[in-house]
Amino acid sequence: MSHSDEWNFSKKQKVFICFVIGCMVAWYVPTYLAPSMETLVMISREKLLGYVLFFSLCQVLLIEVLGCHEARFLNHPVRSFILFLLSALGASTILLMLVWLLEYQFIGRYVVFYLSFFSGGLCFLVHFCLAFLVQKNPRRVLLMVSGQNKNLILESEHSAVEKCHWVEDTNLSTQQGLAQLCLDQGVDLVVVDNEVNASEEELLSVLATGVKIVHITQFWERIFRKIPAQSIGHSWLIQLDLKLRNPFIKRLKRTFDILFGLLGLLVMTPVIFISAVAIYIETGGPVFFRQKRSGFQGRSFVLYKLRTMIADAENGGAKWAKEGDSRITKVGRFLRHWRIDEIPQFWNVIRGEMSLVGPRPERPELEESIMKQVPHWKCRSLIKPGLTGWAQIRFQYAGDLESTEEKLSYDLYYVKNSSIFFDLEIILSTLRSLTQGSR
């Protein structure tokens, strides 16, 4: 492992670190800091262990919902610290309610304070130190790719690019050699594409120095968590492993879809009713909107939404929805901003036409033109479309071909890396995005 990669922990590793910290603090506080009459002191060690695990699990979930892992620690340390404290305080509050329901006694205020301050503070401290070390020891990356690919990488998200130090290959000469350049410049990673201008012997000499060589597709996936359609080919498709096709995982995902779909409709019924009344008062009926969409393996289905546009919005044919679209009503603008218009799609999830998580279903009329201009668009149909998705929380609303192609790169990443845990991350991130509004 190179010197810079030692500090580039994956998100899973950071989640595990926070879980361990939560467990240690939740065990230590009742054992050594709490008064003798504290509820958690008087219960059995077995029960305490259960509460410890519950607190730590709640904390890591709230850390994801609040976006603590995405925070810019060095730029906004106070804000990041507050977010971690809030995650621990929220977990302590949930634990307090659970203990009251099971033990008929409240947790003391000192225990709540100690749990929140030490667990949240230590999680923040670990993340801050890792962010500081990454900034001081960024990956030194040599891009041996085409000019177009190099520009795409350098113009991408600043938060990901700033973790890398780009080594120029202008000093590369036939006398010096690629391996010597890597040694002289302290290169950690060499990124190549199909147009790499280096012989097999040169690449082997680079590997012999301990420097990693990755294809540009792997680099996009590892650093940016997306896969641009231009960087993949038939070989990528052949090696694609659809984990969600596993019979057990498939049944488990379907079970979650049905349970959460029913729960979502049940909980949101009052919101649907109030929204329907508001729509009817402003523009009359109908309050629901039905639209044909492309689903799993290209099969069409009828998608249900609350109507947010004027009744005859598409008399002239299918059109892209754009920011500030004049066809959107006042009530519709509010519903779209908070994604309330999409609540009826829980019914599509229950019916099995959609899943909770997956690529957003596109309209067949628009899809015909998209497939002609955007390569590998059909890859999205390898899995069910979703109520929310990786592209929805990582990129703004797509209103043209250029933004649609960018969203496809996130959909391709999801198709390749789809799993139950990834779905959970997306759902928690969606909860965070709902508090900020969207579209």
Please give the chain's pLDDT, 439 residues, in tens.
454 555 567 888 999 999 999 999 999 999 999 988 889 999 999 999 999 999 999 999 999 999 998 767 777 899 999 999 999 999 999 999 999 999 999 899 999 999 999 999 999 999 999 888 888 888 899 999 988 888 888 887 655 656 788 988 765 655 568 898 899 889 999 999 988 878 889 899 999 999 999 999 999 998 889 999 988 888 888 888 887 778 888 999 999 999 999 999 999 999 999 999 999 999 998 999 999 999 999 999 999 999 999 887 777 666 767 666 788 999 999 999 899 999 999 999 999 999 999 999 999 988 888 998 999 999 999 999 999 999 999 887 776 788 889 999 999 999 999 999 999 999 999 998 887 665 5
CA distances from 392 to 282, 430, 433 (A): 29, 8, 9
Domain contains 231: no
User: Tokens 């003798």 belong to which residue?
Assistant: 36
Note whether 153 and 202 are same-domain residues: yes
pLDDT of residue 159: 56
Q: What angle do CA 239, 245, 250 make, to 5 degrees?
A: 155
Question: Does residue 235 fall inside a structural domain?
Answer: no
Clarify whether residues 271 and 208 are in a common domain: no
Answer yes or no: do 260 and 377 share one domain. Answer: yes
Number of domains present in the structure of the chain: 3
Same-domain check for residues 271 and 293: yes
Residues 147 and 113 in one domain: no
What six digits make up the tokens of 402? 């250029």
Task: Report the candidate in 156, 43, 155 with the shortest Cα–Cα distance to residue 104.
Answer: 43
Q: What is the separation, in whole angstroms, between the first and last Cα of the chain?
A: 42
Residue-range definition of the domain harbouring residue 160: 138-224
Residues 152, 280: one domain? Answer: no
Domain-terminating residue out of 80, 115, 135: 135
Helix axes 45-65, 11-28, angle to 10 degrees: 140
Residue 232 placed within a domain: no
Give, for 301, the enclosing helix (H) or strand (E): strand 300-306
| Same domain flag for 409 and 261 | yes
The reported pLDDT for the residue numbered 81 is: 95
Nearest to 243 by CA among 385, 394, 421: 421
pTM of the predicted protein model: 0.90
> In whole angstroms, how far apart are CA 415 and each of 163, 187, 279, 381, 394?
25, 31, 36, 9, 15
Residues 175 and 264 in one domain: no
How many whole angstroms separate alpha carbon 61 and alpha carbon 66? 9
pLDDT of res. 318: 66
In a domain, 229, yes or no: no
Domain stop point among 224, 255, 271: 224
Q: Assess if residue 107 is contained within a domain.
A: yes
On whether residue 233 sits in a domain, the answer given is: no
- Whether residues 129 and 156 fall in one domain: no
Tell me which amino acid residue 218 is. Q
User: What is the CATH classification number for the domain harbouring 208?
Assistant: 3.40.50.1980
Question: Does a structural domain hold residue 238?
Answer: no
Q: Are 45 and 168 in a shared domain?
A: no
Looking up tokens 């679209």 gives 325
The reply to whether 15 and 47 lie within a common domain is: yes
- Whether 354 is in a domain gets the answer yes
State the virtual CA torsion across 120, 123, 127, 132 in degrees, nearest 10.
Answer: 80
| Calpha distance 81→72 (Å, rounded) | 11
Long-range contacts at 176-181 (CB < 8 A, ≥ 24 apart): 177/202, 177/205, 178/202, 178/203, 178/205, 178/206, 179/205, 179/206, 179/208, 179/209, 179/211, 181/142
Cα distances (Å, whole numbers) of residue 324 to 2, 291, 329, 396, 404: 48, 21, 10, 14, 18
Indicate the residue among 194, 224, 254 that finishes a domain. 224
Whether residue 399 sits in one domain with residue 287: yes
